[in-house]
């Protein structure tokens, strides 16, 4: 659905993104992660044809991004990082106004406005000026605006920012449900748990692409394998023993808990258990754990910094 | 065109609701369409008793049979130029904030993300300034004509308006001028980074009109049909240039990336 080849964007002397390439399949949720200033918003703006690339090629729904801006904008919905609304007019009128620029029938427009306002619990206040809405309500209204023409591609920049936990949960369930509608979702977020739960694949970027993979691929990377050991006593007593075991990279302890990063669990885990038992350690629990996306992300960003 | 109409329809409602736009327009309309012509015409009799005024009329027009008629004609030339004030003023009140307000409220990016063309957006925005300017200047023309005709009818027994010069100014020169100033204001709005600077520069855009008023009042020239038609032709030639410039300057990327979004 989206193909990005060697995309570079420069603003004067500043390079916002450098030579990035990725493909996004139809109905895929593609998490786009990176620190502030990594180029996420720039990428989303290029994909939505708001700004043009310095170099590289982008194809969306088999159309060239440079020459088919109007078409691409008609099949994409954009939720911007700081979505604004016309504060003096009602939520309903806001949606009606924006939706009138898309080629949809009046009946579809009215039905969709009602559908999304009801879905996001805004229907009862549809006639209130958008300026009277809370930040979370405005965010839901902005999300409704991005969806109002039922786009094939949804570009979301921090969709749950400012939402209360219940609303954020509702939005996540909704994003997940878009897969069934065959909607392709490009999801920029700082919320790594959200990205982890929703994304089919994640792309970690810091001007350049650091990694594109599924969560399980990332978790199966040798560097991301780890074991959690809970001792009956203080874990610090076993740090030296653990560090001296073949295949163990690092050991972090906290009270009676040790988190051990292992290169090859199938070799190291039996060795660790044997050594600990031989030394008389009381083990309450031993488990091979999967690294969270947050842990993987932080490691990758840290590695990138040290390069 | 339909999409430009959608923008116009929404924006014009906001203009109508905005007292900050209407109040100065009402005040200026009342001053230039009612107060000033009444003072000029009703006070013209006392002016003619003044020797210096008679010398001034003789100097400009030579020996005349009916100084009062000549004086009224002269006053009408001065009032004619006031017909240009509102068509110039209205766009400068509405248009400078048109793009900048969208930027300030973070509504521009979602708007630009729709399949709207730049030309449609600019046309919608400019109609929002141009249509009220045209309506107000037409009302101004009608009011001024009625006030002048009633006053001269009472005082002199004849109604001099409307005449060809006034019709040219009201229905040819004013709309063209409004269009140019609207586009100029939109250019300013597109390039500005905050609303105050846009309005500040916008208020300077109408300076040439004040200059023309001042020069005529100072006796440098008197507008006549020839001057007016030449003026119309020159301004008409400028129209496509400012339109092209506005479309060129309205660069989506520049506008979005130069402007720091409110968080």
Chains A and B: how many Cβ contacts under 8 Å?
73
pLDDT at A122 over 70: yes
Can you tell me the distance from the alpha carbon of A47 to that of A155, in angstroms, rounded to the nearest whole number?
Answer: 8
- Residues of chain A in contact with residue B259, where contact means CB-CB under 8 angstroms, are none
CB-based contact B109 A97, cutoff 8 Å: no
Chain B nearest CA to A102, separation (Å):
7
User: For A28-38, what is the mean pLDDT?
Assistant: 92
User: Tokens 């600019």 sit at which residue?
Assistant: B122
More confident: B205 or B211: B211
Mean pLDDT of chain A: 90
Which tokens is A5 given? 């080849």
Nearest CA in chain A to B113: A73
B113 at interface of A, judged by CB pairs closer than 8 A: yes
Q: At what angle do helices B174-191 and B195-205 cross, to 10 degrees?
A: 150
Name the maximum alpha-carbon separation found in chain A.
Answer: 76
Interface test with A, best of B110, B119, B254 (most A CBs within 10 A): B110
Chain A nearest CA to B262, separation (Å):
7
**A45-83 pLDDT tens trace:** 999 999 999 999 999 999 998 889 999 999 999 999 888
B76-80, B159-163, B259-263: which has the minimum mean pLDDT? B259-263
- Distance of CA B242 to CAs A71, A307, B44, B177, B235, Å? 28, 51, 42, 11, 10
Can you tell me the distance from the alpha carbon of A121 to that of A123, in angstroms, rounded to the nearest whole number?
Answer: 6
- Residues of chain B in contact with residue A11, where contact means CB-CB under 8 angstroms, are 257
CB-based contact B114 A73, cutoff 8 Å: yes
CB-based contact A78 B115, cutoff 8 Å: no
CB-based contact B10 A89, cutoff 8 Å: yes
CB-based contact B115 A101, cutoff 8 Å: yes
User: Tokens 């905050």 sit at which residue?
Assistant: B194
Task: Write the DSSP symbol of residue A190.
Answer: S
Cα B108–Cα B110–Cα B114 angle in degrees, nearest 5: 110
Question: What's the pTM value of the predicted model, to 2 decimals?
Answer: 0.81
User: For A86-104, what is the mean pLDDT?
Assistant: 94
A190-199, A247-256, A286-295, B63-72: which has the minimum mean pLDDT? B63-72
B59 at interface of A, judged by CB pairs closer than 8 A: no
Nearest CA in chain B to A142: B110
Q: DSSP characters for chain B?
A: -HHHHHHHHHHHHHHHH-HHHHHHHHHHHHIIIIIHHHHHHHTHHHHHT-HHHHHHHHHHH-S-S-HHHHHHHHHHHHHHHHTTHHHHHHHHHHTHHHHHHHHHTT-HHHHHTSS--HHHHHHHHHHHHHHHHHHHHHHHHHHHHHHHHHHHHHHHS----S-HHHHHIIIIIHHHHHHHHHHHHHHHHHH-SSHHHHHHHHHHHTHHHHHHHHHHHTTS----HHHHHHHHHHHHHHHHHHHHHHHHH--HHHHHHHSPPP-
Confidence grade of residue A153 (pLDDT, cut at 50, 70, 90): very high
Interface test with B, best of A12, A80, A150 (most B CBs within 10 A): A80
More confident: B91 or A94: A94
Check if the beta carbon of residue A32 is closer than 8 Å to that of residue A188.
yes
Q: Looking at this predicted complex, what is its ipTM?
A: 0.83
Interface test with A, best of B16, B114, B121, B128 (most A CBs within 10 A): B114
Cα B1–Cα B4–Cα B5 angle in degrees, nearest 5: 90
Confidence grade of residue A9 (pLDDT, cut at 50, 70, 90): very high
Interface test with A, best of B17, B103, B113 (most A CBs within 10 A): B113
């Amino acid at each position: 659905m989206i193909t990005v080849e060697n995309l570079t964007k420069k603003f004067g002397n500043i390079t916002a993104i450098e030579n990035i390439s990725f493909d996004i399949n139809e109905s895929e949720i593609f998490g786009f992660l990176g620190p502030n200033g990594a180029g996420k918003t720039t990428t989303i703006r290029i994909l939505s044809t708001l700004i043009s690339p310095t170099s590289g090629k982008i194809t969306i729904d088999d159309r060239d991004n440079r020459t088919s801006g109007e078409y691409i904008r008609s099949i994409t919905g954009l939720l911007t990082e700081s979505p604004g609304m016309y504060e003096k007019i009602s939520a309903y009128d806001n949606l009606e106004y924006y939706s009138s620029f898309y080629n949809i029938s009046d009946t579809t427009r009215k039905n969709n406005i009602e559908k999304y306002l009801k879905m996001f619990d805004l229907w009862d206040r549809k006639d209130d000026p958008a300026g009277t809405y809370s930040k979370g309500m405005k965010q839901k209204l902005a999300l409704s605006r991005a969806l109002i023409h039922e786009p094939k591609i949804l570009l979301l920049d921090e969709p749950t920012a400012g939402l209360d936990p219940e609303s954020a949960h509702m939005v996540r369930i909704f994003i997940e449900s878009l897969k069934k509608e065959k909607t392709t979702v490009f999801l920029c977020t700082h919320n790594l748990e959200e990205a982890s739960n929703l994304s089919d694949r994640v792309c970690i970027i810091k001007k350049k692409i650091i990694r594109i993979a599924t969560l399980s691929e990332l978790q199966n990377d040798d560097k991301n394998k780890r074991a959690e050991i809970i001792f009956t006593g203080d874990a610090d007593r076993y740090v030296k023993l653990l560090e001296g075991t073949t295949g163990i990279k690092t050991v972090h302890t906290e009270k009676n808990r040790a988190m051990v990063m292992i290169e090859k669990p199938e070799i190291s885990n039996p060795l660790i258990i044997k050594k600990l038992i031989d030394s008389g350690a009381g083990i309450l629990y031993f488990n091979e754990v999967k690294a969270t996306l947050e842990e993987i992300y932080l490691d990758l960003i840290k590695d990138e910094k040290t390069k | 065109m339909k999409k430009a109409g959608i923008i116009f329809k929404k924006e014009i409602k906001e203009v109508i609701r905005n007292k900050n736009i209407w109040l100065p327009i009402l005040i200026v309309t009342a001053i230039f369409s009612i107060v000033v012509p009444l003072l000029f015409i009703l006070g013209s009799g006392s002016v003619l008793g003044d020797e210096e005024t008679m010398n001034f009329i003789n100097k400009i027009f030579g020996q005349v049979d009916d100084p009062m008629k000549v004086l009224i004609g002269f006053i009408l030339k001065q009032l004619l130029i006031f017909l240009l004030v509102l068509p110039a003023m209205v766009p400068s009140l509405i248009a400078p904030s048109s793009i900048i307000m969208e930027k300030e409220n973070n509504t521009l990016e979602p708007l630009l993300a729709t399949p709207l063309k730049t030309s449609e957006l600019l046309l919608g925005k400019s109609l929002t300034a141009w249509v009220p300017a045209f309506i107000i200047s037409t009302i101004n023309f009608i009011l001024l004509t009625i006030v002048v005709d009633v006053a001269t009818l009472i005082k002199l027994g004849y109604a001099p308006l409307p005449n060809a010069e006034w019709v040219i100014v009201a229905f040819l020169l004013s709309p063209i001028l409004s269009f140019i100033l609207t586009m100029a204001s939109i250019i300013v709005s597109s390039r500005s980074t905050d609303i105050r600077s846009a309005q500040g520069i916008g208020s300077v855009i109408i300076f040439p009109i004040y200059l023309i008023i001042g020069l005529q009042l100072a006796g440098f020239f008197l507008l006549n049909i020839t001057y007016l038609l030449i003026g119309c032709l020159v301004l008409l030639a400028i129209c496509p240039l400012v339109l092209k410039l506005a479309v060129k300057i309205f660069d989506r990327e520049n506008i979005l990336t130069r402007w720091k979004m409110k968080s």
